[in-house]
A = this chain, B = another copy of it.
């Protein structure tokens, strides 16, 4: 990718648009009360989103604690994602997509691609590490991500299906920060399974 503007890190917050090139990851700092809009620029692209408390990145958005708090597989608009310390970190503020998102599937990682016969392949876990390193941070663990636009329907039997993302060009999901946080988005580099349709494409994060 060339050309796109990058969000500007002003003191402790990021403002404006941060482009996330296809298959790569980026991090932004979002102050409490601000919103971050995650845009699927070309459509059909899954993003693995992570959020960490700005003052202690050992505290992170936790899918399991969020399910426990909301009694849902995925929050509804107006509901919050919470951390592993059960503190609200992001509220789901809006969603223009058809509404398929996932919090069941782990981030792709080097072991996943080794299993697919592609050692050394880019991964969302690797992108998370790189994006945090760019802010001088590191995560103790790779949390279960919020997989925006990822379509994993759950059948009554408990079976999960892996379908291509159905988000359209420009579709966006917007989160409001409840605490000062660092949000990382990986435009999933998966090109060996069909979740990203015809292949990985870029995404964007707008801090509003």
Q: Residues of A at under 8 Å CB distance from B?
A: 62-65, 67-68, 71-74, 84-87, 104-106, 109, 111-112, 115, 140-142, 144, 154, 156, 158-162
Distance of A154 Cα from B67 Cα, bound (Å): 11
Could you tell me the dominant secondary structure of chain A's interface residues?
loop
CB pair B159–A71 under 8 Å, yes or no, is yes
**How many copies of this protein are present in the complex?**
2
Is there an interface contact between B159 and A156, defined as CB atoms closer than 8 Å?
Answer: no
Distance in Å: Cβ of A179 to nearest Cβ of chain B: 15
Give, as a whole number of angstroms, the nearest-CB distance from A29 to chain B. Answer: 24
Identify which of B63, B106, B115, B154 contacts A154 (C-beta below 8 A): B154
Q: Are B68 and A86 in contact, with the CB atoms below 8 A?
A: no
Query: Roughly how many angstroms separate A106 CA and B106 CA in the complex, as a whole number?
Result: 16
CA distance A200 to B160 in the complex (A): 32
Q: Verify A106–B74 contact, CB threshold 8 A.
A: no
